[in-house]
Amino acid sequence: MVGHELSPSDKLHVSEYTSYGTTHRVYLVPGKWIQIHTHRANELINIKTFAMGDVAEYDSFNLKYLGSITGITAKTVTIQPPRYRGCKRLKLEHFAWRNAQFDLEKITKENAETMNHI
């Protein structure tokens, strides 16, 4: 995988989800990292990689809600929102859809701008 070494004990999981002409191919090693490869018309257009502790989006409405990744399994990614006792558990397809184009700097600016209007 791009940017990640696999040790002999690592178990690589691969899943694929298609929605509205966009395919997200998800590669992950449970408890370590997840990588989203985004394809349109069979062309690779983006790769995003997240590791345990990285920030990711778990929900949105007017704002995009972010938290730290605390768990990666073969079926879900768990995110801990700041100042919230519970965790948010996303199925891989939802995590991939929300985070395939993740850009923390852009989200921070957009959230700040939106906060000025609500």
With 80 as the cut, is the pLDDT of residue 100 above it?
Answer: yes
Phi, psi of 92 (to 5 degrees): -55, -40
Q: How many CB atoms lie within 10 A of CB 109?
A: 11
In a domain, 73, yes or no: yes
In a domain, 26, yes or no: yes
With 60 as the cut, is the pLDDT of residue 46 above it?
Answer: yes
- Long-range contact set of residues 43-46: C-beta below 8 Å, sequence gap at least 24: 46/100, 46/101
pLDDT confidence of residue 54: 98
**Tokens in use for 89?**
């558990």
In a domain, 7, yes or no: no
pTM of the model: 0.89
In a domain, 57, yes or no: yes
Report the number of distinct structural domains present in the chain.
Answer: 1
Residue-number span of the structural domain to which 100 is assigned: 13-115
In a domain, 8, yes or no: no
